[in-house]
Amino acid sequence: MSRPALDPQTVVRAISGGGRMKSTVDEIGERFDADVERFSNLSTGQSATVDAPLAMALVAEAAAAVTPHARHVLDVGCGAGNYTLKLLEHLPGLDATLIDLSTPMLDRAVERVGRATARAVTPVQGDIREVELGEQRFDIALAAAVIHHLRSDDEWHAVFASLHRALRPGGSVWVFDLVESAIPAVQQMMWRWYGEYLTGLRDATYRDQVFAYIEREDTPRPLAFQLDVMRRAGFDQIDVLHKNSCFAAFGGVKP
């Protein structure tokens, strides 16, 4: 069966933001408050994310391989705790600090992670742009499907600088997220491909729903921009684990 054609205007609106004011932090938090059950299951919680199971496995294994003596993980935008749970399969017994906008989501993450480690699990409800992470407290930082909510260049630089300060020397940060393409024609091609993926996953209505919340909530940046921000923050040994269309997994090490 052929897939419904993707309306070019839908692509343009999703890329440009359609001129609409982006969702507030409270509005984003409210959407996730209502989605705790779905995000407690990777197969349903990340269904709109291309290669989600593969990316989570790569991030967890890379973090464990690069930082094998880690004692404390920071999970930014932890959702229901999937990424920390996967990491604990490789590095059991970590302390975990979990940050999320949504209190119900954070409660679920604490419950699930608490069953997987006998160490301390510390919840922090808040916006990563405002949370004080301190200095040299963590060995691994995870940020899955959260950094794309940042808006200005200054916010990107400030958040990666904060993560760098918060890591101990030799610590590592790992990101999996929605990314733009730097070349407009390639961005339209990738967005069209992503639209076809979403339509094949469910149907055209689902595709339009996903594009609608991306338009409202998200401001992704090109992968090259994010890698440069990481370098400027002080990370080195930066590497890309995986990229498929408009999703990428990558990370770096603090010297």
**DSSP letter assigned to residue 22:** P
pLDDT at 48: 82
Q: Which CATH number fits domain 23-179+222-253: 3.30.710.10, 3.40.640.10, 1.10.3470.10, 3.40.50.150?
A: 3.40.50.150
Comparing 201 with 135, the larger pLDDT belongs to: 135
Q: What is the percent of the chain with per-residue pLDDT over 90, rounded to a whole number?
A: 75
Distance (Å, whole) CA 183 – CA 201: 27
Comparing 18 with 123, the larger pLDDT belongs to: 123
Using the structure block, give the residue that is written with the tokens 């959260």: 146
pLDDT in tens, 213-250: 899 889 999 999 999 999 999 999 999 999 999 999 99
Distance (Å, whole) CA 190 – CA 58: 22
Tell me the average pLDDT across 21-37.
Answer: 53
Tell me the average pLDDT across 1-21.
Answer: 44
Chain centre distance of CA 205: 24
Q: Please, are residues 88 and 71 in contact by the beta-carbon 8 Å criterion?
A: no
Using the structure block, give the residue that is written with the tokens 């920390």: 84
Q: Is the pLDDT of residue 162 over 90?
A: yes
